[in-house]
Amino acid sequence: MQNILEIDGISKSFSDIQANNDISLYLRQGQIHALLGENGAGKSTLVKIIYGIVKPDHGTMTLNGKPYDPDTPEVARNEGIGMVFQHFSLFESLSVLDNIILGQKENLKKDKILERLDYLQNEYDLFIDINKIVATLSAGEKQKVEIIRCMLQDPKIMILDEPTSVLNPSEVEKLFSFLRKLSDQGMAVLYISHKLHEIKELCDTSTILRGGKVVKSCDTASITIEDLAQLMVGKAIDNKVKLSEPKQARVLDIKNISYTNPDIYGVSLKGIKFSVNFGEIFGIAGISGNGQTELMKILSGEVGTSDGNQILYHDEDISNLGINERRKREIVFVPEDRLGHSAVGGLSLSENLLLTNLWDLKFFSKGVIDSNYVNEKTVEVIKKFNVQCNDAASLASSLSGGNLQKFVVGREIIKMPKLVVCEQPTWGVDVGSASLIHNFLIEISNTGSAILIISQDLDELRSICHRIAIISNGVLSKPYDANRITPQDIALEMAK
């Protein structure tokens, strides 16, 4: 088979970060090629270069033997490159059909498009009701719309960016058989992921990126998952603090959380029940958009709920208390979004420290902020949690994701809380910081704190939790022992 796309010595830097450093890669007809790496390894920059969104600083690309240097995504599409983004580029309030029409380059007649659509749906098993409004579709269906839109342009190369992060296991199976069929028909697929099992199962060839450089390109069959992991992460980081056994006494006992979402497209929660014990780390797994955000906001008190909900904390019903009343009871919260939710980019670190301490009279005298005390505490967090920054006056937006997350988690943990509720505590954080954050959480649980982690990252949950439950479409499963939960259990619960 011949090379369809050749990437030769591509480099790209953004201000002080070298995102891509001399990257070369060859994509052959009929090949499913994995592009593999941690967050921040440079995968998405490379893809954006191929798709004409970002211009490289150095290097050349060759498509079908001809020089290829796209100025816009449109050029890339015309040259036969199709892209399925991780964050969909769909129009939520329009119908599936309108979305498909908008994705076509020429003014095709509607019946012409319908005809092609019909063919695609039959050939590739991509059935979907074209009159539905996109906002009402599940994440898996939305991805189908993206794929259809892409396929209608007869691409020669299809790029998929973390396509399975929004899919449940049975949808993943369907996607894989679809991609295999494409490859059998001679299409080249560039598959971006950090999930090693998938890559091992699906891809012929793997290119592994780390720190913006290619560390290895090889046949996937010739390499073990352990070796892939090693190459992706660099040196193995496994100095994890050991989990100790929790006591059989409940800190948080949720008798019932039900919530009707006022947003008609949002997820409603149905009869959620679970409990977290002293010294226990309890994980809630699930694909995003199944009610996690809603659950988090109800647990924190940011969203009020209707009657009938019962959240017992040390036998007190806190379901009607506001977030600061809950904080007074030594509960802390770390929501998913760093910038704009748990921290404010345009304010300094010390001002951000105050964000979750407004209830604490130690920081004020008659409503006036005691800036010395705030500063002192901020410096303490920065030192203790190894936050890399200039000083307490640095703007939160000037910190890297990992450092800001360490600050946000540290700000809460330093209070030695009795209950920690966090959502995606290591989302988009580098490996080193993630492992530090995990250690903080384990350490504090060993002193008796109860910890609730809501995360999409199953590997994360399995490595630090005692028990795991799965949330799917607003319903929470029974808890499983983290050591005994099997992929089959998870698949079954997610499909419910």
CB contact at 8 A, 410 and 387? yes
Nearer to other proteins, 246 or 410 (CB): 410
Q: How far is the CB of 421 from other proteins (least distance, A)?
A: 12
CB contact at 8 A, 46 and 91? no
The token duo for 348 is: 């300094």
Q: How far is the CB of 84 from other proteins (least distance, A)?
A: 12
Nearer to other proteins, 414 or 491 (CB): 414
Q: How far is the CB of 407 from other proteins (least distance, A)?
A: 14
Q: How far is the CB of 359 from other proteins (least distance, A)?
A: 7
Q: How far is the CB of 403 from other proteins (least distance, A)?
A: 16
Nearer to other proteins, 40 or 70 (CB): 70
Nearer to other proteins, 26 or 91 (CB): 91
Nearer to other proteins, 114 or 218 (CB): 114
Distances (CA, A) of 56 to 37, 61, 121, 318: 20, 10, 37, 54
Residue 285: which residues within 8 A CB-CB, separation 6 or more?
Answer: 455, 456, 458, 461, 468, 469, 470, 471, 490
Q: Tokens 């799965």 sit at which residue?
A: 470
DSSP character string of 195-264: -HHHHHHH-SEEEEEETTEEEEEEEGGGS-HHHHHHHHHSS----PPPP-PPPS-EEEEEEEEEE--SST
Q: How far is the CB of 85 from other proteins (least distance, A)?
A: 8
Nearer to other proteins, 340 or 428 (CB): 340
The token duo for 270 is: 């149905």
Nearer to other proteins, 20 or 445 (CB): 20
Q: How far is the CB of 78 from other proteins (least distance, A)?
A: 10
Nearer to other proteins, 271 or 346 (CB): 346
Q: Which residues bind other proteins (CB under 8 A)?
A: 48, 53, 71-74, 77, 85, 88-94, 98, 101-103, 105, 107, 133, 262-264, 300, 302, 322-324, 327, 333, 335, 337, 339-347, 351, 354-356, 358-359, 364, 367-369, 371, 395, 397-398
Q: How buried is 288 (Cβ within 10 angstroms: 0-12 exposed, 13-18 middle, 19+ buried)?
A: middle
| Alpha carbon distance 493, 496 (integer Å) | 5
Q: Residue 272 is inside which H or E element, if any?
A: strand 269-277
Q: Return the ∠ at Cα 318 (arms to 315 and 324), rounded to 5°.
A: 130
Q: How far is the CB of 208 from other proteins (least distance, A)?
A: 26
Specify the length of the chain in residues.
496
Q: How far is the CB of 28 from other proteins (least distance, A)?
A: 27
The per-residue b/e assignment along 404-419, b for 16 or more CB within 10 angstroms, e otherwise, is bbbbbbbbbbbbebbb
| Alpha carbon distance 283, 480 (integer Å) | 10
| Alpha carbon distance 27, 495 (integer Å) | 35
Left, alpha or beta for 101 (phi > 0: left; psi -120 to 50: alpha)?
alpha
Nearest residue to 425 via CA among 335, 330, 301: 335
Nearer to other proteins, 210 or 338 (CB): 338
Q: How far is the CB of 331 from other proteins (least distance, A)?
A: 13
Nearer to other proteins, 341 or 462 (CB): 341
Within 13 A of 196's CA, how many CA atoms are on the CB side? 17
Nearer to other proteins, 130 or 339 (CB): 339
Nearer to other proteins, 8 or 79 (CB): 79
* Count of helices and strands (H, E) across the chain: 16, 23
CB contact at 8 A, 331 and 313? yes
Q: How far is the CB of 306 from other proteins (least distance, A)?
A: 17
Q: How far is the CB of 427 from other proteins (least distance, A)?
A: 16
